[in-house]
Chains A and B, each alone.
Chain A
Amino acid sequence: MIDKHQAILSLEPNAKFGMVGDEIVDWESEDITQPTEAEITAEQERLQYLYDSEEYKRNRANEYPSVADQLDDIYHNGIDAWKATIKETKDKYPKE
């Protein structure tokens, strides 16, 4: 779950504030209006949706061979073989 402070910073990147647990205990930015709980929750849900919708990218990135191994693959086996290797990961983690 996206942390509450991440959502607040997404809404107000220049805000100066302190939190204990999930509670805002110190809002020091007098020129910035503190977001409401509803606004913060909505932003948490929006950021969580964005994070979840890019899970395939993170999974692919974790599984792709290193750049050095991919260059070695191209050198020894050619572009088509390299594309086949990469496609295995892409197919394993399809774009939603």
Chain B
Amino acid sequence: MSQINVNTIGARTGNDITLASGDNFYIPGHALQVVQGTYSTQSSRTSSTHADTGLSVAITPKSTSSKILILMLHHTKIQRSTTSANATVKLLRDSTEIESANHFFTDAGGNAASTQNLTASVLDSPSTTSAITYKTTYGVDNAANSETIYIAWGNKTDRLIAIEIGG
């Protein structure tokens, strides 16, 4: 592999410099690709055993040294027919949990209910060039008193964005 050392690269004509089709340009610290997964169907869960939300995004890193910045947004509602409601959304790389976001609400008057945006951001280092899938799961803290967590509440769009950053 040869190396060119220059201080400035300029367009020979016009103002654009274009990479040949199919070729990749690796710049450490710069975004190499962006992919997004969305889910807009309001869904609920009443079990403490986590299940897939339906939100996922697949990405194939271009280099093993790349980092993947994951941004998660879930529109959640939690409710329970007693004083406190508690539920969690987990973020996984394939089957490995890499982050979790907890939503809690309490009302001494009973019938706790709350809507919030649950977010998470993770700078992941998957060290692979094989396809990986990021996804979320959800579950309540205690499957009693009708404890329920909704995602994509009001059919708002939940999002999972994966940005590959050159390493």
Contact = CB atoms under 8 A, between A and B. Distances in A.
Contacts of A81: none
A94 interface: no
B116 A25 contact: yes
Given A25-B116, A26-B116, A20 B103 contact: yes
Interface string A56-87: 00000000000000000000000000000000
Interface string B3-43: 00000000000000000000000000000000000000000
A23 to B, nearest CB: 10
Interface string A14-46: 111111110001101000000000000000000
Interface stretch (B54-62, B107-115, B131-139, B151-159): B107-115
Interface residues of B, number: 16
B108 A19 contact: no
Contacts of A14: 108
Which secondary structure dominates where chain A touches chain B? mixed
Contact of A19 (B105, B107, B109): B105
Contact of B106 (A17, A21, A25): A17
Interface residues of A, number: 14
B108 A18 contact: no
Contacts of B114: 18, 26
Interface string B60-80: 000000000000000000000
Interface in B93-119: 101-109, 114, 116-119
Nearest to B116: A20
A18 B116 contact: yes
B109 A20 contact: no
Contact of A15 (B101, B103, B108, B119): B108
B46 to A, nearest CB: 19
A16 B106 contact: yes
A26 B101 contact: no
A9 interface: yes
Contacts of A9: 84, 106
Contacts of A16: 106-109
Interface of B: 84, 86, 101-109, 114, 116-119
Interface of A: 5, 9, 13-21, 25-26, 28
8 contacts: A5-B84, A5-B106, A16-B107, A19-B103, A19-B105, A20-B104, A20-B116, A26-B105
Given A19-B104, A20-B101, A20-B102, 20 more contacts: A5-B106, A9-B84, A13-B108, A14-B108, A15-B106, A15-B108, A16-B106, A17-B105, A17-B106, A18-B105, A18-B106, A18-B114, A18-B116, A19-B102, A19-B103, A20-B117, A21-B102, A25-B116, A26-B105, A28-B107
